[in-house]
Amino acid sequence: MADLKAAAKGLSKSDKAAADQKVKAVEAELKSLRSQVRRTMITVALKQPRVVRVQARGNWMDESGPIVQPTVPEFLGTTGAGDRRATRLDLANWFVDAENGAGLLTARVMVNRLWFLCFGSGLAPDLHDFGGQGQPPTHPELLDRLAHALVDSGWDIKATLKLIVTSRTYRQSSAMRPELQAIDPANRLYAVQSSFRLPAESVRDNALAISGLLVTDIGGVSVKPYQPAGYYRHLNFPTRTYQSDTNDGQWRRGVYVHWQRQFLHPMLKAFDAPSREECTAQRPRSNTPLAALALMNDPTFVEAAKAFAARSLAADVLNDAARIDWMFQQAVTRTPTAEERSVLQALLVESRSSFAGRAADATALLNVGLTKPAAQFAAPELAAWTEVCRAVLNLAETNTRD
pTM for this entry: 0.78
Sequential DSSP letters for 268-311: HHHTT---SSS--SS------HHHHHHHHHSHHHHHHHHHHHHH
Summarize pLDDT for 231-246 with one digit per residue, the tens: 888 877 777 788 899 8
Determine if the peptide bond prior to 238 is cis (ω within 30°): yes
Those residues of the chain that have pLDDT short of 50 are none
Query: For residue 178, with 0-12 CB atoms within 10 Å meaning exposed, 13-18 middle and 19 or more buried, which class applies?
Result: exposed
Phi, psi of 197 (to 5 degrees): -65, 145
The secondary structure element, H or E, covering residue 325 is helix 320-332
Q: Is the CB of residue 209 less than 8 Å from the CB of residue 257?
A: no
Phi, psi of 45 (to 5 degrees): -70, 135
Region of 344 (left: φ > 0; alpha: ψ -120 to 50; beta: rest) is alpha
Residues β-bridged to residue 354: none
Packing angle between helix 379-393 and helix 200-211, nearest 10 degrees? 150
For 53, the 3-state DSSP assignment is strand
CA 30 to chain centroid, in Å, comes to 42
Q: Tell me, what's the pLDDT at 197?
A: 92
For 197, the 3-state DSSP assignment is strand
